[in-house]
Chain A
Amino acid sequence: MGKSRFDVKAALISAIVLFLLVFNVFPMCYLVFRSFCVENGFTLEAFRRIYTYPLNWNALRNTLITAGLSMVFGVMIAFPLAWLVGRTDMYGRRFFRTLFVMTYMVPPYVGAMAWLRLLNPRVGTLNVFIAGLFGLPENPFNIYSIGGLVWVLTTFYYPYAFITISRAMEKMDPSLEEASKISGASPMKTLMTITFPVMLPSVVAAGLLVFVSAASCYGIPSIIGAPGKIDTVTTRIIDYVYVGSKEGLTDATALAVSLMVTANIVLYVSTFVCGKRQYITVSGKSTRPNIIELGKWRLPITILVAIFAVVVVVIPFATVAMTSFTKNLGKPLSGSNFTMRYWNILLTRKGILDTAKNSLISASAAATVGTFISCVMAWLLTRTKAKARHIPDFLITLGSGTPSVVIALALIMTMSGRFGINIYNTLTIMVVAYTVKYLMMGMRTIVSAMSQIHPSLEEASLISGAKWQQSFRDVTLPLIAPSVVAGWFLIFMPSFYELTMSTLLYSTDTKTIGYELFTYQTYHSQQTASAIATGILVMVVSVNWLLNKLTKGEFSI
């Protein structure tokens, strides 16, 4: 009995590790190897070549500047928001929380599309409005600039920091703050000397997460950067791949390795720094969170946060939705300028429906494979002491930390028949890419649900005569079911609208909805693209609503 159970564990670990080795580790290693190796052995030729072009230096500089500034601004926005939502009596805390968490699930390129319309230097709606309001001689903002790029990146990646910091804040023992108050510290002093320092590791982790996400982003810089001639490392990589020549691919590889190394160093530093200073502050008794009364600031602060939410969430989403109904983009939306044409296109054009179907299939498959692996991993991590259980955990984390464009490039180079596997030009390669990239989101959700179930519940079932499989099915699974569903959607949603990897991996028959939207946005019709984007937004809102229902309002990423 004991022996057979051990075999199951070993088999499961091996299967997952094998999957990760084939589709994650091997492609990445090969990518690194290729960047150093042209036909005649080890060489830095590729790196020398790419870094002799000022264009690439520029791209690297742009990436570092935009990602760095987004990190700083993102944390500066996220920390106070997380504190206000989690620790004060600001009005509408729950509503704001849901709103900010929801933004996390919106594809970032939707933000780029919206701000493009709002802050176009000549005709941007908001630009014209502000210029009119203050009687400015010319429009104040230009979205096609480094500043514009930072703005959109920040407004769409700050939720990453918000969620990380909020989660840590919820876990913090409120009596740490109470102890400070009773020692004579004012609420502000408590915030600065206790709350912030205790939270610091999470704040650092949150900042680095924003940095890596912003640096790896393709959608925003390609939509905003291309007209403004602002290249980033991701856009350069995809340009190189599109050149198609062998040299182009090698150059793309070298750039991708630079990006991957940067991202991994950042992530490694963050886990190292934070891992060392991880404070265990979970209290013995869960008291009600220590709510700080804002007093006379309550209303002004709520209004400030509401304005922020309107500017960052409501205006962009409304803009995209309105664009999808606008006949002539040069004029404001009105009765005579209103049309359902683009929604008709969305719902009838075969090209769009086919890509939607492709995305639906590959995202569902990725979510299902991912959820299965996540469940097994949750069980391995929380219920067993199998020695090797941290290996797949590490590999999964590594996969998620790798920029999308790097994953896609690595898969192209290894999965197109050279090593006996040829899934290039199929939906399978999409499924693999999505699973590698988004698996961690599902896994974290399910692991945390599982770790909250006391093992004695399962032991009680085992002692009643159930086999461990039965125990898992009858006791554990029903208890974690809401989180399993949540985990499934957390893999499904980003896979469904994925753009970066799809851009590199698609073939004529396997275009995805994200790529289709992107081509409409860039080449054909912004309105059609907006209709697709609005459809995706509606999906995000519905999924959020569903998850909140399922978890009785306790859904958090």
Chain B
Amino acid sequence: MSSITLTNITKNYGSVQVIRDFSEKFNDHEFITLLGPSGCGKTTILRMIAGFERPTAGEIMIDDVVVSSAGNFVPPNLRNIGMVFQSYAVWPHMNVFDNVAYPLKMKHVPRPEITERVMNILEAVHLSPYVQRMPAELSGGQQQRVALGRALVSNPKVLLLDEPLSNLDAKLRESMRFEIKEVQGRFGITVVYVTHDQTEAMAMSDRVIVLDRGEVQQSDTPMNIYRRPENQFVADFVGKINFIGGVSSGGQVEFPGGQKMTYTGGKTGAVVVGVRPENITMRQDGGVLRGKILQQYYLGDVNDCRVDIGGEILRVIAPGNTYGKFSIGGEVWLDFDEYLVFDENH
């Protein structure tokens, strides 16, 4: 129910700069994911929004209130934010009810109201049967729900999630993904979600912000991040992709092996062509590039191939039924259904 505005945020640890001039506005109701490899600064940004870290420079606003700037700093306990930690941080000496009731007690909500609101939240996160349990008696997924319930119980303006699913097994991770998304819809809350898992980011977010070494690489919808990555880092980090170096001139890109491909875009000189393996079609004859099949693996739904186009080896993910139509060592023609052209160093 709130927006978060970060303006020119910089964060140094000693002489190491972990965030460089970060400016973004997270809108009301938006589900934002900060995505990037470890050390990219995504957790630091989250912790600065929470108030656990103080930016070296820059300003953070929640709605119209400045919570962090050079002269002003609101401590975390006064920010009215909900947060789910990677380790859950469920207090081991309190039972489920007391854990979830804690934020309300801190706000001096009257007793009967606490009980009612806690029970409602526990219902929402499917924990009603476990009210009196101690955390040690809960599974990882249940502890996760306690943490989620605790983060939501006081109707915070903002919900922060720090890799909340990384300690769960694959199946539970998928179901929790939907649960979090559903909870967001029901509570109509602004969510900032930190992860290094691109599938999570794609599945849940309205907007994904890809970070690398403290800088924003791209901030866009999941579809645009995937289909129109702005640079090679984003293209490589999100999904699978082949990169082929080449030289662009006169409406054509020439690859090192001498083969050419028509290209009508504006980039000239040394370029890198990026093409996702599933966007390559294999034909027996009549395509753009000619190659030789080196390997193919039948995976049921798809046929995962390696094709040598003369100096470059491309990964091609073709439909499963193509397996058997081509033989290893045999000739094959490739068509690019969709591709991207990057400047060489970008």
Contact = CB atoms under 8 A, between A and B. Distances in A.
A186 interface: yes
Contacts, number: 86
A428 interface: no
8 contacts: A181-B77, A182-B81, A182-B151, A187-B75, A200-B93, A277-B93, A283-B87, A285-B163
A183 B51 CA distance: 12
B298 interface: no
Interface of A: 173, 175-176, 178-187, 189-190, 193-194, 197-198, 200, 277, 279-281, 283-285, 290
B52 A290 contact: yes
A175 B106 contact: no
Nearest to B135: A279
Given A178-B50, A178-B52, A185 B106 contact: yes
B83 A182 contact: yes
A183 B159 CA distance: 12
Contacts of A189: 77, 106
B102 A182 contact: no
Given A175-B86, A181-B51, A183-B103, 20 more contacts: A175-B85, A175-B87, A176-B92, A178-B50, A179-B83, A179-B90, A182-B50, A182-B76, A182-B82, A183-B77, A183-B154, A184-B107, A184-B154, A194-B91, A198-B91, A198-B93, A283-B87, A285-B87, A285-B163, A290-B52
B242 interface: no
Contact of A176 (B82, B91, B160): B91
A279 B154 contact: no
A181 B75 contact: yes
B80 interface: yes
Interface of B: 50-52, 75-83, 85-87, 89-93, 102-103, 106-107, 136, 147, 150-151, 154, 160, 163, 166-167
A197 B90 CA distance: 13
B77 A186 contact: yes
A285 B154 CA distance: 27
B87 A284 contact: yes
Contacts of A279: 92-93, 136
Given A183-B150, A186-B77, A290-B52, A175 B103 contact: no
Given A179-B150, A290-B52, A184 B93 contact: no
A193 B106 CA distance: 11
Given A182-B50, A182-B82, A176 B107 contact: no
Nearest to B82: A182
- In the A-B complex, list the 9 residue pairs whose CB atoms are closest, starting with the nearest: A184-B106, A183-B103, A175-B89, A279-B92, A179-B89, A175-B85, A283-B87, A181-B76, A182-B83
A198 B92 contact: yes
A200 to B, nearest CB: 7
Nearest to A290: B52
Contacts of B90: 179
Contacts of A175: 85-87, 89
A194 B163 CA distance: 23
Contacts of A283: 86-87
Contacts of B77: 181-187, 189-190
Nearest to B108: A184
Contacts of A173: 87, 89
Contacts of B163: 285
A181 B78 CA distance: 8
Nearest to B100: A183
A543 B76 CA distance: 43
B51 to A, nearest CB: 8
B106 A284 contact: no
B88 to A, nearest CB: 8
A178 B103 CA distance: 12
Q: Which residue, of A183, A189, A277, has the highest number of chain B Cβ atoms within 10 A?
A: A183
A290 B79 CA distance: 18
Nearest to B160: A182
A284 B167 contact: yes
A282 to B, nearest CB: 9
